[in-house]
Structure 1
Amino acid sequence: MKRRDFIKNASLTGVGLAIGSSLINCDEAVSDKTTEQNNKAIHDLYGLPLVVATWHVKNATAKAMEILQAGGNALDAVEQGCRVEEANEKDQTVGKGGLPDREGNVTLDASIMDKHGNCGSVVYLQNITHAVSVARKVMEDTPHVMLAGEGAKQFAISKGFEPEDLLTEASKDAWEKWKVEAKYKPIINIENHDTIGMLAIDKNGDISGACTTSGLAYKLAGRVGDSPIIGSGLFIDNEIGGCVATGLGEEVVKTVGSFLVVELMRQGKSPQQACEEAISRIVNKPNSNYKNFQVGYVAVNKKGETGCYSIHQWFSITKYQDGVNAQIQSDYYNKA
């Protein structure tokens, strides 16, 4: 057993004893106070608050952690963190500057989910940079979960979002070059790392998550991936944990991947074990073509433990915990 694991286990044992002692010897008010103190001890033990996201997005995780350290909640943190990448024109897989579909239109998908299980999403949204914020408005200001296309755009405008052209010169030039042959074949870890998925746990131990993407480059017009589909690209259960996915969305949808990871954690698996099992469900399907596409998961449980796993090498995550904002290379299945 590693020293850090030993310390954690010993500390948790002490916490359990303290809770038991308070139930025997203290009145209800004292017991409540002791329980609150012990819950805080557990949170501190596992380094809360915590932010984790797909890919190399240190500016985004830094923004989310800034929110948390100022006393903000996990929902605000994931929204503000994702907005950083949506506004980053150099990131051609998210928000403004995203690579377009075959018709030259940049279309965005996004979702968000809070500690209560409330959720909102937008699909095929055009001309609005901050899709994740529109998804939050859908969650909070409508009786719906998902809005699509022109309806999503008009809703966003009604909420004060300013329409703008999302196709930058760099993305337009890339599209023009693609049209010369107009062939489509997913490129592992390049064209497919099309999502920022973010999970956060605040100081209260509450979990929220968000996803935002411009989807696969040069997709058929109208294509929607896993990112805005609750249970596929994102799922949160505040009693258990959360998960976000990245990669070829069609394959994530087929296994309802993020929900699967959280349910595996509910059964007792660690975040790492759950991510690995979810990837195995994809690669072990009959006639799986997994060697030609990438999928990656990142998950966190209620204790603040994290895990990540992918089909192929070079998937990475960014984790901000215990004062360290670090990029971490994921382990992967296909080592052949």
Structure 2
Amino acid sequence: MLNRRAFITKSAIGVSSVAAAQLIHLPVFAATPPDNTLVISTWDFGIAANQAAWKVLQQGGRALDAVETGVKVAEEDLDNHTVGRAGYPDREGRVTLDACIMDEYGNCGSVAALENIAHPIAVARLVMEKTPHVMLVGQGAMQFAVQQGFKNEKLLTPEAEAAWKEWLKDKTYKPPVNIENKKKPGSRYNHDTIGMLAIDSKGNISGACSTSGLAFKMRGRVGDSPIIGAGLFVDNEVGAATATGVGEEVIRVAGSALIVELMRQGYPPKAACKEVVERIIKKRKDAVKDSQVGFLAINKKGEYGAYAIQNDFTFAVSTSRKQDILVTATSYYK
């Protein structure tokens, strides 16, 4: 594990620029003593999500509560068109949301193709805590949410509806590699998933993942985000991993579960992420050459890392020493 002096030397940046949340490139990422309390999440919008999660951890809260609280920030963000209430619809104009959550005991809950409910991550937690099941989908998931007191509301925002109607003109389906590279000036128009992992003051790990899926997807399409072992996996003895990008590619390799198993074998988090990305490329090189998949992982020691197919996959980090750090992951294609 790197001490503070080594961390600064390897990153080649000053503490002030880290505090300012500049994009940085680091070969190894690790929280340092006095404790390994940590929260980490995907993409630029992870900074705001981490801030909310960190408040829970600062007060000695459970990692499970922290990740739910943090992910709900992204789900509520009206400038985020790939997660939660402002998500872009499928090709029929319906906003459908997917999410899953997993705690330190191996308990997990998930919802898929959920409509009219703004916080799928909260519904996923109740599936975990109040049903004998792991996943509820579609109308059944919505019915359960309403029974639990969630508001049934229209989620298609005017901006999302306008984007859908524009797409209908030629119905071209080619998602950009990194949506954040296509963002409009002044907006926070990022990629398709928030995945968040946290370690609390007791050393316990939990994770959460939420998305509105690929914009203008086929009706009924579900990606990796609500699938335990693909979009998210937690093993409190080892660590946790989460994914972002084209979910079909993540599902094909059971990406997050595989990363955790590699860490069990001794791989550091970044090396485990890299191994899984390279497996995807080996099996699907032509199919993924213009697609993005990124993985994020932590281990029990508080070390963390990430790796992606394409450049510009960013992730946000908050540790006991520094919050609001934004890092650019190493990628296979530069």
TM-score bin (small chain): 0.7 to 0.9
Question: What is the Cα-based RMSD across aligned positions, in Å?
Answer: 1.9
State the Cα distance separating 1:5 from its structure 2 match.
8.3
Q: Give 1:274's match in structure 2, choosing from 251, 272, 275.
A: 272
**Structure 2: gaps of 5 or more residues:** 8-30, 181-189
Alignment of 1:193-204 (within 5 A): 193-204=191-202
Q: Give 2:250's match in structure 1, choosing from 249, 252, 261.
A: 252
Higher relative contact order (CA 8 A, sep 6+): 2
Q: Give 2:37's match in structure 1, choosing from 43, 49, 53.
A: 49
Q: Give 1:125's match in structure 2, choosing from 105, 114, 124.
A: 114
- For the residue of structure 2 that corresponds to 1:156, the secondary structure is helix
- For the residue of structure 2 that corresponds to 1:334, the secondary structure is coil
- For the residue of structure 2 that corresponds to 1:64, the secondary structure is helix
**1:236 aligned onto 2:224:** no
State the Cα distance separating 1:324 from its structure 2 match.
2.2
- The CA distance in 1 between the partners of 2:284 and 2:68, in whole Å, is 38
1:331 maps to which residue? 330
Give per-residue Cα distances to partners, 1:72-111, cap 9 Å, x unaligned.
Answer: 1000000000000101111000001100000000000000
Q: Which moved more, 1:278-287 or 1:255-264?
A: 278-287
Q: How many residues are matched?
A: 301
- The CA distance in 1 between the partners of 2:250 and 2:35, in whole Å, is 30
TM-score (norm 1): 0.86
Is the contact between residue 282 and residue 288 of structure 1 (CA under 8 Å) also seen in structure 2?
A: no
Alignment of 1:1-336 (within 5 A): 4=4, 45=33, 47-56=35-44, 57-190=46-179, 193-285=191-283, 288-321=286-319, 322-335=321-334
Give per-residue Cα distances to partners, 1:12-63, cap 9 Å, x unaligned.
Answer: xxxxxxxxxxxxxxxxxxxxxxxxxxxxxxx962743100000012111000
Percent of aligned positions that are identical = 54
- The CA distance in 2 between the partners of 1:307 and 1:216, in whole Å, is 25
- The CA distance in 2 between the partners of 1:186 and 1:272, in whole Å, is 26
TM-score (norm 2): 0.87
1:46–1:278 Cα change, 3 Å: farther
- The CA distance in 1 between the partners of 2:3 and 2:210, in whole Å, is 38
Is the contact between residue 311 and residue 333 of structure 1 (CA under 8 Å) also seen in structure 2?
A: yes
- The CA distance in 2 between the partners of 1:161 and 1:213, in whole Å, is 18
Matched to 1:201, the amino acid is I
- The CA distance in 1 between the partners of 2:215 and 2:123, in whole Å, is 22
- The CA distance in 2 between the partners of 1:2 and 1:150, in whole Å, is 49
Larger Rg: 1
- The CA distance in 2 between the partners of 1:149 and 1:314, in whole Å, is 33
The structure whose residues are more often helix, as a share, is: 1
- For the residue of structure 1 that corresponds to 2:136, the secondary structure is strand
- The CA distance in 2 between the partners of 1:130 and 1:89, in whole Å, is 13
